[in-house]
Structure 1
């Protein structure tokens, strides 16, 4: 698993939220935001983010929140639409792990990334961990797990 240190800028995002157990609902919510981007045509080559807002070990499955996000330009004129929200994600220092976007590879990565963070002398910061997909319509072959860190 490749790892690199990266400073991410603040991102202006639009997002759709799914509430319930993580899994198939996450995929459907990401498809919703991708379809929204395709409808806008000028947003098809973009950065997509998946953010699990809750820890499923400490939050009941029916209360877990997942945000499927699209980074949009600061000057993009956004119109209000049902189920689409806007936010600013803070930038900062992240360890970025490149992973094949398969269920098995992601499960394995989630068990390995946090020990790797600490073994490399970092502490996890309080910002959300993100899955990042880049390229045309956020093709899903490769996923980058972005873990916010601070130096101990």
Structure 2
């Protein structure tokens, strides 16, 4: 994430940016060392200067959005309590990746968001 943010700043794309973290593997099923994690920048294609950058389109689904403190401790606690949160909120979760969303305007206030795909 750190090197990605440096690249985004160098490309002058950081101001007002939205960065996504997408876990591609379930750490309950895959050893931590083998877990894959994508880091993405939401951008208009017109602003993309470098065609060598991998691009992906996310399928449109509905998400339950949870605003939490932008700290490693808070994010880890959320994931540890996620099953309980899903039950309490009676969410019907889709088999799609959970997304961490880092809107610069929220991060500057000390927050980030976890998006859970739901029916």
Category of TM-score, reference length = shorter chain: 0.7 to 0.9
- Moved segments of 4+, more than 4 Å: none
In the alignment, which residue of structure 2 is the partner of 1:112? 81
Match of 2:112 among 143, 147, 150: 143
Would you say the 8 A contact 2:24–2:35 is kept in 1? yes
Structure ranking higher in strand proportion: 1
Between 87-96 and 108-117, report the one with greater CA deviation. 108-117
Return the TM-score normalized by structure 2.
0.84
Return the TM-score normalized by structure 1.
0.68
Q: C-alpha displacement at 1:140, in angstroms? A: 8.1
- CA RMSD for the aligned pairs? 2.1
Number of residue pairs the alignment of both structures matches:
118
In the alignment, which residue of structure 2 is the partner of 1:67? 38
Structure 1's 139 and 48: CA in aligned 2 closer, same or farther, altered over 3 A? farther
Structure ranking higher in helix proportion: 2
Cα distance in 2 between the residues matched to 1:148 and 1:71 = 18
Would you say the 8 A contact 1:37–1:44 is kept in 2? no
Q: C-alpha displacement at 1:108, in angstroms? A: 1.5
Would you say the 8 A contact 2:5–2:14 is kept in 1? no
Correspondence 1:131 to 2:91: no
Write the mapping of 1:8-87 to structure 2, written as runs, cut at 5 A.
30-81=1-52, 84-87=53-56
Structure 1 spans left out of the alignment, 5+ residues: 1-29
Structure 2 spans left out of the alignment, 5+ residues: none
